[in-house]
C-alpha cells in the first residue's frame, strides 16, 4: 500500500486471489469458523474489464459472484437495449445488496460485480460487509475512457458481451466517482 492509500497492480490477468482454506478445497461453506468471508467490490467504467476480473476471481477462489446485470437479465429487464427505469434499477440494486448480504452471512466470500459508480454505493457495500464481520476489499479497474469506448465499439462488432446503450454509457461517465485515497482501493491497470 502506498502512502496515498492506493495499491497499484500492473495487470489483473495474473491475479491470484487470497483464498481461504475452504475455498481452496472447493467447499461452499467455511470449514473453520475462524475463517472470515470477504467482499470484493470491483469498480470502473463500463467495458473496463470488471466482469472479466470478477469472473476470474470467482472461478479461481471458488467465490460467489453477484452481478447487477445478471439480476436485470434474469428479471427480463433491459433486454435488447430496452430502457431500464430508475425504479427497475433501484429494485435490481436492492436485490444485489440483499443477495450479497445473504451470501456473506452464510459464509461465502463474494465478488460484487455491480455498478458501484458512486462513493455512496461503495459505502453501502462496505457497511454490509461490516454488519456481517466480513473483510472488505475495493478494486478499481482503471481503464481509461477512450479504451472503454473503443471496447464498446468493438463489442458491437463481435458481440462478446451484452451491449449497453450510448446514453447508459454517458450516464455512467457522469456518475462515476473514482475511489478516493481514503477508500484504500487497489488500482488495477489493465494491459
Indicate whether 28 belongs to any domain.
no
In-domain check, residue 19: no
How far is the first Cα of the chain from the last one, in angstroms, to the nearest whole number? Answer: 21
Asked whether residue 106 is domain-assigned, the answer is yes
Residue 7 lies in a domain: no
Residue 15 forms part of a structural domain: no
What are the E-state strand segments in the chain?
A: 7-9, 38-43, 64-67, 110-113, 135-141, 186-188
pLDDT score of 158: 84
pLDDT tens-digit map of 71-117: 988 888 877 777 788 898 899 999 999 999 999 999 999 999 978 99
Q: How many domains is the chain built from? A: 1
Q: Would you place residue 66 in the very low, low, confident or very high pLDDT band (cuts 50, 70, 90)?
A: very high
pLDDT tens sequence across 113-136? 978 999 999 999 999 999 999 999
Mean pLDDT of 31-36: 56
Q: Which domain holds residue 97?
A: 35-188
Q: Per-residue pLDDT for 2 more than 70?
A: no
CATH number of the domain that 131 lies in? Answer: 3.40.50.300
The answer to the question of residue 18 being in a domain is no
Q: Per the domain annotation, does 115 fall within a domain? A: yes
Whether 2 is covered by a domain: the verdict is: no
Amino acid at each position: 500500500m502506498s502512502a496515498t492509500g492506493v495499491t497499484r497492480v500492473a495487470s489483473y490477468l495474473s491475479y491470484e486471489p487470497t483464498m481461504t482454506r475452504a475455498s481452496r478445497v472447493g467447499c461452499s461453506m467455511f470449514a473453520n469458523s475462524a475463517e472470515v468471508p470477504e467482499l470484493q467490490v470491483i469498480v470502473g467504467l463500463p467495458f473496463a474489464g470488471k466482469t472479466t476480473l470478477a469472473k476470474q476471481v470467482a472461478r479461481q477462489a471458488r467465490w460467489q459472484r453477484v452481478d447487477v446485470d445478471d439480476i436485470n437479465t434474469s428479471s427480463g429487464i433491459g433486454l435488447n437495449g430496452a430502457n431500464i427505469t430508475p425504479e427497475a434499477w433501484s429494485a435490481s440494486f436492492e436485490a444485489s445488496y440483499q443477495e450479497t448480504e445473504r451470501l456473506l452471512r452464510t459464509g461465502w466470500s463474494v465478488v460484487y460485480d455491480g455498478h458501484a459508480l458512486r462513493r455512496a454505493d461503495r459505502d453501502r457495500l462496505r457497511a454490509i460487509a461490516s454488519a456481517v464481520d466480513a473483510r472488505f476489499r475495493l478494486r478499481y479497474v482503471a481503464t481509461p475512457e477512450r479504451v472503454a469506448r473503443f471496447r464498446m465499439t468493438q463489442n458491437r462488432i463481435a458481440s462478446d458481451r451484452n451491449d449497453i446503450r450510448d446514453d447508459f454509457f454517458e450516464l455512467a461517465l457522469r456518475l462515476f466517482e473514482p475511489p478516493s485515497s481514503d477508500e484504500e482501493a487497489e488500482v488495477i491497470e489493465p494491459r
